[in-house]
Structure 1
Amino acid sequence: MADAGDETAALVGATGGAGTTRLTVELGALLANDGRDVAVLDAAFATQGLSDYLSGRIDPDLTTLLTDERDTPLSAGLVDFSLDDATGRLACCPAVAPFERLARAKTPAAAQALEARIDEAAETFDHVLVDTPPVAANQSVGAVNAASRTVLIAPATTRGRDAVQRTTGRLDDLDVDVDAVVTTRGELSVADAAVPETDAEVTAAPTCLTERSTAAAVATVASVVLDADPSTGDGPGLLDSVGDFVSR
């Protein structure tokens, strides 16, 4: 395993549609609002969902930094997520690429480059979160090898429970421990933390930033993922500090 420190985490979607991207960004926003500097790297190349949360030009994206521009500093691809009045920083490196470059970003050599980029981010940021797709591709293997913690994200369904068991087996084959399981849209018995289901439309503000109970749930996720204890705020602060998200 690469030496990336104790504050790097691969948030692995145990199955597609688990809400991993949204949870990764919400967790990053909560930590940044608490005064921490957080980097989010987008290893979910197929969906490229992190870019949906960002505005402005994305150039270079993460796949470029893993292929054509491996000598370019990671800072060149970071896009700051706007957080009003936050004392910390949330910087994202999304994947936005044509199919040809996506294919090259999934090679074993690119996976090794991803490990190096995670290490690079860990030198500057308090926390590094990697939005990681199901463990069926080289970039997923690179992410879990480099991160000091591996967390499975799964929906609170029978499909999600089965996916946790299947993914745990795959990670065992890689000699990677599962440090925590987080379920979305409800609870499973295997979960160390759970984010409740919401009736909000997909384009509505995230529930962890509009409802105290959900903010507390994301704080619990921070605790099990990074042993962090971010404040959820007693007044406007957290709940008024982030713009609209979309669910992915």
Structure 2
Amino acid sequence: MQATTLALVGATGGAGTTRTAVELAAMGARGGDDVAVVDAAFTTQGLSEYVAGRIDPDLTALLTDDTDAPLSAAAYPVAGTRDAARSGSGGERGKSRGGDGDRDGPVLSGRVDAVPARAPFERVARAKTAEAARKLEQRIDEAATTYDAVVVDAAPAGSNEAVAAATSADRAAAVRPATAHGGDATQRLRGRIADVGGSLDATLAVEHPGAGETDGDPAADDAGRNGSGVVRVPATDPEVRAAPTAASRGDAYARAIAVAYEAAFDASLDVEFPEQGLIDRITS
């Protein structure tokens, strides 16, 4: 891999950035990589929903109160996956810590961990400072020394933590609705990231069930990666408990996630889809 860290930045709220980050990580683990999803969306804290059991400490604690603790202290297996190797700095990874509400899932060749934010408002406020953002950049670098790939879940670039994610990762990709409105939002996001010295390397256009507003959207006509650097991701079950779909299924959604992962990390996944054999890349 040439790139080890990827910031997924939402072009709009509700674009599906957190879900897409989890699915990308699960696809990487399916292909044998150890992948971490690092939370940089402290306000919504959506990544915590993909972890079963108690989260203590969380990422914000490592940025404020427990700055000497290793990143592994706040790394938790993504619910709905089971690790084949149970290896790594975090110790046994077969079940999410806390035990309650754990879900069985497919055994993956690699592992997929979440490093979520789950904190009261007071600590979230301290984790959103410029000083904490610099610590977040260090934590992202730390994750890159432990995992084969790191996906950073970032909200639209309007906070210190989102800017830190977008500018410190090796690559940044926008996640937007697969609509004309989503395309416009991506252009605005591109300008905001350029203002802080960053750039967008790719775009993931995510369809949503029942949306149906694809008129004027260049991603609407092509499944997979097209000449404009857009990967269209078909709609899937939006429920958190349905994730990660990409860990085991071979439908169009999982194949699009595989295309996105390979493009983002310059990787060649050792994943077979029975319906089509090896992953079919769609290029211009």
Give the TM bin, normalised by the shorter chain: 0.7 to 0.9
Matched to 1:12, the amino acid is V
2:234 matched to which residue of 1? 196
The answer to whether residue 71 in structure 2 is matched with residue 74 in structure 1 is yes
- Partner deviation per Cα, 1:11-37 (whole Å, 9 max, x = no partner): 001110000000100110010111101
The answer to whether residue 268 in structure 2 is matched with residue 229 in structure 1 is yes
CA drift of 1:172 comes to 1.0
Identity value in percent: 48
Among candidates 28, 31, 44, match of residue 31 of structure 1: 28
> Which structure dedicates a bigger proportion of its chain to helix?
1
Q: Which has the larger Rg?
A: 2
CA drift of 1:207 comes to 5.0
CA drift of 1:46 comes to 1.3
Distance in 1 between residues matched to 2:61 and 2:265, nearest whole Å? 29
Distance in 2 between residues matched to 1:205 and 1:124, nearest whole Å? 24
1:240 matched to which residue of 2? none
2:256 matched to which residue of 1? 217
Q: Does the Cα contact within 8 Å between 1:216 and 1:232 map onto a contact in 2?
A: no
CA drift of 1:159 comes to 2.3
Distance in 1 between residues matched to 2:180 and 2:229, nearest whole Å? 13
1:239 matched to which residue of 2? none
| CA gap 1:61/1:168 in 2 versus in 1, 3 angstroms | same
Distance in 2 between residues matched to 1:148 and 1:183, nearest whole Å? 20
1:171-186 pair list within 5 angstroms: 171-185=193-207
3-state SS, counterpart of residue 138 of structure 2: helix
CA drift of 1:107 comes to 0.4
3-state SS, counterpart of residue 152 of structure 2: strand
3-state SS, counterpart of residue 108 of structure 2: coil
Matched to 2:266, the amino acid is D
1:157 matched to which residue of 2? 179
TM-score by length of 1: 0.87
1:22 matched to which residue of 2? 19
CA drift of 1:212 comes to 2.1
CA drift of 1:146 comes to 1.5
Distance in 2 between residues matched to 1:206 and 1:76, nearest whole Å? 23
Q: Does the Cα contact within 8 Å between 1:219 and 1:231 map onto a contact in 2?
A: no
2:55 matched to which residue of 1? 58
| CA gap 1:41/1:193 in 2 versus in 1, 3 angstroms | same
- Partner deviation per Cα, 1:43-80 (whole Å, 9 max, x = no partner): 11111111111112211100111111111111111002
TM-score by length of 2: 0.76
Q: Does the Cα contact within 8 Å between 1:183 and 1:191 map onto a contact in 2?
A: no
Matched to 2:230, the amino acid is D
What is the alpha-carbon root mean square deviation over aligned residues?
2.0
3-state SS, counterpart of residue 12 of structure 1: strand
Unaligned runs of 5+ in 1: 236-248
- Partner deviation per Cα, 1:158-177 (whole Å, 9 max, x = no partner): 32111101010011111212
Q: Does the Cα contact within 8 Å between 1:219 and 1:229 map onto a contact in 2?
A: no
Equivalences, count: 231
